[in-house]
Amino acid sequence: MRLLRHSAVIALQDNHEMLAQCLLPGECPVMPKVTIYTTRFCPYCVAAKRLLARKNVAVDEIDVGGQPHLRQEMQAKAGGLHTVPQIWIGEVHVGGCDELYDLEDQGRLDALLAGEHEMSRTKA
């Protein structure tokens, strides 16, 4: 059974758990907005986007290639880091592709995507 409400598709599973899949980044009341700064030919960007896509996460992708003002914006938000990708889940700066996969390997990525903002380490 599917219900369409407030830009989110709610699917009811047989085990009565509700899953929310957002159609627009940041529009889902359950899932925080995911922002990823990328460049066009970055293999780490592709890998990070692939992981998020497998989890049905809508992302707000900002391509900083050839856009110095966007790269400066990213660096300012990321505490001076200049490599791509740089990923935010809600207000939490995850870091790059390696950090995203580390969260997945530790079983913490799904909780962060569900809006649980606890992370044991802080980014500079």
pLDDT, position 116: 84
* Of 87, 97, 37, residue with least CA distance to 62: 37
Domain 25-113, what fold? Glutaredoxin (3.40.30)
pLDDT, position 16: 28
pLDDT at 20 over 80: no
CB-based burial, 24-54: b 16+ in 10 Å, e otherwise: ebeebeebbbbbbbbbeebebbeebbebbee
pLDDT, position 61: 98
**Residue ranges of domains in the chain:** 25-113
Please name the amino acid found at residue 65.
G
pLDDT at 42 over 90: yes
SS3 content of the chain, % helix, strand, coil (to 5): 30, 25, 45
Cβ burial of 64 (10 Å; 0-12, 13-18, 19+) is buried
Averaged pLDDT score across all residues of the chain: 80
Percent of the chain beyond pLDDT 90?
67
pLDDT, position 103: 98
* Of 104, 17, 106, residue with least CA distance to 57: 104
